[in-house]
C-alpha cells in the first residue's frame, strides 16, 4: 500500500497518507488503503494508539481527488460519499484512540478525515475548511455531521456555506483542534500525547472512548446507562484490581496488563 505507510513503535502506530505530489488527495484507492491499514492496526494487539498524518510539508490531506470526481453522475457521487463515510466511521469507531497530526492543508475530505479522529493537533501552518459549495457539491465524507457536533451548528454553517478556509489559530479558538504547535514539534507532540494515552489501562481507555461516542448520539439518561455498563466492565479487569490495590497501599503501579 504505497499510498499509505504504517510504522509501529512503543505501542503507537503512525499511519501516513503518502501522496505528497498530489497533496495527499483522497481517491478511491487511497481510501481503500486507509481502510485496509485501519483494519490491520485495529486487529494488532500491540497497537494501543494510532496517529494519522500526511506526507510532505504542504498537506495533511488537501481534499478528495477532484480529477476523479469531476465526471461522476449522481449515483457514482453517492457511492463515493458512502465509501468515504464508511472509512471515516471506521476511524471514529475504532476501539483504539486516533490522533490527527495535521501538518498542512486539511480541506474538504482532509478536514473530514481529521474530524473523524478523536484528537486533532495542528501545525501552526495548517489550514482547515470545507470548500465544497464553491465546487458545486456538499461535503461528502461527514463534514455536515461532524463539524456542527464539534464547533456548533452556527459556526459550522458559516464555514460550510461560505467555503471559507481558516488558519490553525482560528481552528483552535473555535474548538476544531486541541492544540497548535510549531511544525517541527508536531509529531513529537502527537507521539507524547499518544504515549500518555498508551500508559493508561487500555480496557478503561477504550470503554471511555466508546461511552463518549455513544453518548453523543443519544440522550443523557441512555448515555449514563452506557457509562454504568462500562464502569462495571472495568471492575472485572486485573488492571482495576492492581491499580486500586497499589493506590490504597501507597505504592507505584509498575504498568498495566491491559486485561
| The predicted structure's pLDDT at residue 91 | 98
Instruction: Compute the average pLDDT of residues 19-28.
Output: 94
| Sign of the dihedral through C-alpha 79, 55, 138, 37 | positive
Question: Domain coordinates of the chain in residue numbers?
Answer: 4-198, 202-248
If you search the block for the grid coordinates 507521539, which residue do you land on?
191
> What is the pairing mode between strands 59-61 and 12-17?
unpaired
Confidence bin at 255 (pLDDT 50/70/90)? confident
Question: What's the pLDDT tens digit per position in 141-155?
Answer: 999 999 999 999 999
Mean of per-residue pLDDT scores for the chain: 96
Least confident of 39-43, 166-170, 246-250, 255-259: 255-259
Rounded distance, CA 225 to CA 214, Å?
11
Rounded distance, CA 93 to CA 88, Å?
9
Q: Is the pLDDT of residue 2 over 90?
A: no
The beta strand positions in 1-107, using DSSP E, are 4-9, 12-17, 49-54, 59-61, 98-102, 105-107
Rounded distance, CA 206 to CA 97, Å?
7
Rounded distance, CA 245 to CA 239, Å?
10
Burial zone of 45 (CB within 10 Å; 0-12 exposed, 13-18 middle, 19+ buried): exposed
CATH 3.30.1330.10 fits 202-248, yes or no: no
What positions carry a catalytic annotation? 112, 132
CATH 3.30.565.10 fits 4-198, yes or no: no
pTM of the model: 0.95
| The predicted structure's pLDDT at residue 1 | 60
Question: What's the pLDDT tens digit per position in 116-129?
Answer: 999 999 999 999 99
Q: Is the pLDDT of residue 111 over 80?
A: yes
Is the Cβ–Cβ distance between 139 and 130 less than 8 Å? yes
Rounded distance, CA 208 to CA 218, Å?
16
Instruction: Compute the average pLDDT of residues 159-165.
Output: 98
Amino acid at each position: 500500500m504505497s499510498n499509505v505507510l504504517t510504522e509501529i513503535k512503543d505501542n503507537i502506530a503512525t499511519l501516513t497518507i503518502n501522496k505528497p505530489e498530489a497533496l495527499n488527495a483522497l481517491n478511491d484507492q487511497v481510501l481503500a488503503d486507509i481502510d485496509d491499514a485501519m483494519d490491520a492496526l485495529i486487529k494488532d494487539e500491540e497497537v494501543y494508539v494510532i496517529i494519522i498524518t500526511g506526507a510532505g510539508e504542504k498537506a495533511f490531506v488537501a481534499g478528495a481527488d477532484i480529477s476523479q470526481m469531476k465526471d461522476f453522475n449522481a449515483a457514482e457521487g453517492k457511492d463515493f460519499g458512502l465509501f468515504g463515510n464508511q472509512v471515516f466511521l471506521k476511524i471514529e469507531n475504532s476501539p483504539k484512540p486516533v490522533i490527527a497530526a495535521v501538518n498542512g492543508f486539511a480541506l474538504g475530505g482532509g478536514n473530514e478525515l481529521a474530524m473523524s479522529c478523536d484528537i486533532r493537533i495542528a501545525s501552526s501552518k495548517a489550514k482547515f475548511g470545507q470548500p465544497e459549495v464553491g465546487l458545486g457539491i456538499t461535503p461528502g465524507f461527514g463534514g455536515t455531521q461532524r463539524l456542527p457536533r464539534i464547533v456548533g451548528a452556527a459556526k459550522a454553517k458559516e464555514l460550510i456555506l461560505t467555503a471559507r478556509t481558516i488558519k490553525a489559530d482560528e481552528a483552535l479558538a473555535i474548538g476544531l483542534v486541541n492544540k497548535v504547535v510549531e511544525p517541527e514539534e508536531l509529531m513529537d507532540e502527537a507521539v507524547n500525547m499518544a504515549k500518555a494515552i498508551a500508559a493508561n489501562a487500555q480496557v478503561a481507555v477504550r470503554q471511555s472512548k466508546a461511552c463518549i461516542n455513544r453518548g453523543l448520539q443519544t440522550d443523557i439518561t441512555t448515555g449514563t446507562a452506557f457509562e454504568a455498563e462500562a464502569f462495571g466492565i472495568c471492575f472485572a479487569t486485573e488492571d482495576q484490581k492492581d491499580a486500586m490495590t497499589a493506590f490504597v497501599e501507597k505504592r507505584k503501579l509498575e504498568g498495566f496488563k491491559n486485561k
